[in-house]
């Protein structure tokens, strides 16, 4: 297990800088997506190639919104360092793994579970369409975590963890290659 004494990937320039950070605190929804995009765009306008730190604390939410953020980051030139600083659950995990570098606070955790949708007043055809959509989103979720682990964590194991509603502490997240390191309290100095 790697424990970070500082957030450096090449010197002082990459130490944590609150002025170069964005946060996602709360539900994965359109309002927080818009806020995150506004924050990112403001930082990019200031300095296009500087490091950006992404603080995540989320209980999850809308899968399509989470994947919109994930794909935007993964397809862009943005080098995001994600920091899980509390419980990161469900779709919040996808926000976290969007980062090219992923760091967890010692008491942070990741919670994986099966995706769910609420169906009220749907016709049989609409229910079938939503079930296909949910199956596709689940496959994307598994693939995102699989890729984040450097393909070291098997898709079947990820699926099993979701089925079993698994909470991963920081050490386990690093061991499974979902996170790169644990940020120790000495790194905050």
Q: What's the CATH number where 18 sits?
A: 3.90.226.10
Q: Which residue's entry shows tokens 């995001």?
A: 80
Higher pLDDT, 161 or 78: 161
pLDDT, residue 51, reads: 84
Rounded CA separation 41/44 (Å): 5
pLDDT band, residue 87 (cuts 50/70/90): very high
Q: What is the mean pLDDT of residues 37-60?
A: 90
Maximum CA pair distance of the chain? 58
Residue 6, pLDDT > 50, answer no
pLDDT, residue 26, reads: 97
pLDDT, residue 118, reads: 80
81-85, 167-171, 180-184: least confident range: 180-184
Residue 184, pLDDT > 90, answer no
Higher pLDDT, 159 or 77: 159
pLDDT band, residue 4 (cuts 50/70/90): very low
List the domain range (segments joined by +) for residue 131. 3-188
Q: What is the mean pLDDT of residues 116-128?
A: 87
CA 28 to chain CA mean position, Å:
11
How close are the terminal C-alpha atoms of the chain, in Å?
Answer: 21
Q: How many domains does the chain have?
A: 1
């Amino acid at each position: 297990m790697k424990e970070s004494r500082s957030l450096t990937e090449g010197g002082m320039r990459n130490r944590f800088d609150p002025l170069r950070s964005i946060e996602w605190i709360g539900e994965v929804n359109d309002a927080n997506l818009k806020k995150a995009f506004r924050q990112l765009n403001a930082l990019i306008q200031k300095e296009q190639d500087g490091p950006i730190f992404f603080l995540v604390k989320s209980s999850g939410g809308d899968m399509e919104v989470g994947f919109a953020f994930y794909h935007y980051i993964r397809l862009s030139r943005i080098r995001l360092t994600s920091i899980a600083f509390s419980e990161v659950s469900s779709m919040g995990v996808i926000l976290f793994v969007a980062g090219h570098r992923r760091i967890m606070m010692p008491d942070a955790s990741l919670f994986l579970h099966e995706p769910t949708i609420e169906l009220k007043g749907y016709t049989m055809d609409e229910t079938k369409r939503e079930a296909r959509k949910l199956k596709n989103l689940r496959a994307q979720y598994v693939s995102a975590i699989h890729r984040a682990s450097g393909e070291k964590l098997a898709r079947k194991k990820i699926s099993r963890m979701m089925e079993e509603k698994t909470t991963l502490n920081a050490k386990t997240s690093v061991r499974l290659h979902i996170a790169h390191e644990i940020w120790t309290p000495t790194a905050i100095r």
